[in-house]
Structure 1
Amino acid sequence: MEQITRLAIMASGNGTNLSAILDRFQRVSVAAQIVRVIVDQPQAPVIQRAERVGLPVTVVDYHDYPKKADAEAVILRQLAADHVDAVVLAGFMRILSPQFVARYPRHIVNLHPALLPSFPGRHGIEDAYQYGVKITGVTVHFVNDGVDSGEIIAQAPVAVHADDTVASLATRIHETEHQLYPKTLIELINQGELNHETSLN
């Protein structure tokens, strides 16, 4: 019997990467199931996007808890209850604690809108544009204790045009994300990289 990799998506915003992942998973045979969407913003459009396709959603508003660790504890309990093998960050705009990351070593995947190690942090697109680079791009990487400093899994370049604005560059960055992220996740799943047996849990 083929093992199904159980994934949780963590998101904060519109959910366009979630939609891209779902679309690719439906079109390509992949032994994976998204079993939970975790959202930290109660009004985020990703909630409706997930609910429309029948995905269970858990909202954990960090402002409801005295400490970040308390909010993370709620998330970790939910992930354990869902028997999640790996966590996929899809526009989740919070830094996970070392304690959280340690629960899923090399089993938390993130997407960053720049060619790491250049331009880490929240404003990767704007920082690359302001610096004046001619080529930026998208990086998929494992999450470690640092900020956008984990092992790089895949990258794709995006040229910066002479007439680009931040908005036009961001559009092409996001288009590239929607191609690279699902493709990379499927490769990791097919290689068994995100199965429970490859984790230290």
Structure 2
Amino acid sequence: MASAQKNIVILISGSGSNMAAIARAADKEGWHGKWGAQVAAVISNRADAVGLELAQSLGIATAVVPHKDFASREAFDAELMARIDAHAPALVVLAGFMRILTPGFVQHYAGRLINIHPSLLPAFTGLNTHQRAIDAGCKVAGATVHEVTAELDHGATLAQAVVPVLPGDTAETLAARVLTQEHLIFPQAVRGFFERKA
């Protein structure tokens, strides 16, 4: 029998495809029945994020906290934390959330904050990962789900997927190949989080 409710709050800035992969896995695999886990809310820093409509179509509550409305990162993060904490989250998931979070935010969710990064960390932290992998002559690329720490794109690795870099690849074609794997390993990493807590 599932224990107490374990809410997942997912933060997005764009299409929300990884968010949807997690929500659909939770539903299909019966996470609520197994662990009390469910995607309780999706929050974006952009009102035009396509993923908000996608979340609503999946029956998930949504909210927008526009970062441009705040004078500082700290003020934005404080409001974001208030919105997240209203759902008493067991886990906060960064799924294409394009904001660097303050150390105070990261500390507040220590041990329950995870992110996906489109490279095989520790290689290619930061932005433009696919082009950088191609430019470096890498034979493989991929994605990493990791715990979030105050240092950007560091923290313990929870899951990784490897894809080949093919002759003639562009950043766009490589990104598309990596994304299909992200949709597999991100739900896997979230599932693993609750299995370890069970």
Q: Same-fold call, TM > 0.5?
A: yes
Give RMSD over aligned pairs. 1.3
Aligned AA for 2:16? G
Q: 1:64-79 alignment to 2 at 5 Å?
A: 64-79=69-84
* Length-normalised TM-score, structure 2: 0.93
Aligned AA for 2:62? V
Aligned AA for 2:118? P
Kindly indicate whether the alpha-carbon contact (under 8 Å) linking 2:131 and 2:170 is maintained by their aligned counterparts in 1: no
Aligned-residue sequence identity (percent) comes to: 34
- For each residue in 1:28-77, what CA deviation from the matched residue of structure 2 results, as whole angstroms up to 9, or x when unmatched? 12221111111001111011111112211110111101111111111111
Taking the aligned partners of 1:93 and 1:169, their CA distance within structure 2 comes to 20
Among 40, 44, 64, the residue aligned to 2:49: 44
Taking the aligned partners of 1:136 and 1:34, their CA distance within structure 2 comes to 29
Moved over 2 A (4+): none
Aligned AA for 1:46? G
Taking the aligned partners of 1:150 and 1:134, their CA distance within structure 2 comes to 25
Taking the aligned partners of 2:82 and 2:27, their CA distance within structure 1 comes to 28
Higher mean C-alpha displacement, 118-127 vs 97-106:
118-127
Kindly indicate whether the alpha-carbon contact (under 8 Å) linking 2:73 and 2:101 is maintained by their aligned counterparts in 1: no
Q: Partner residue of 2:14?
A: 13
* Length-normalised TM-score, structure 1: 0.92
Aligned AA for 2:8? L
Q: 1:80-95 alignment to 2 at 5 Å?
A: 80-95=85-100
Q: Partner residue of 1:108?
A: 113
- For each residue in 1:161-188, what CA deviation from the matched residue of structure 2 results, as whole angstroms up to 9, or x when unmatched? 1132222111110000001111111111
Aligned AA for 1:6? N
1:54 partnered with 2:54: no
SS of residue matched to 2:39: strand
1:23 to partner: Cα distance: 1.6
Structure 2: gaps spanning 5 or more residues? none
Q: How many residues end up aligned between the 2 structures?
A: 193
Taking the aligned partners of 1:66 and 1:160, their CA distance within structure 2 comes to 41
Q: Partner residue of 1:197?
A: none
SS of residue matched to 1:118: coil
Q: Partner residue of 2:136?
A: 131
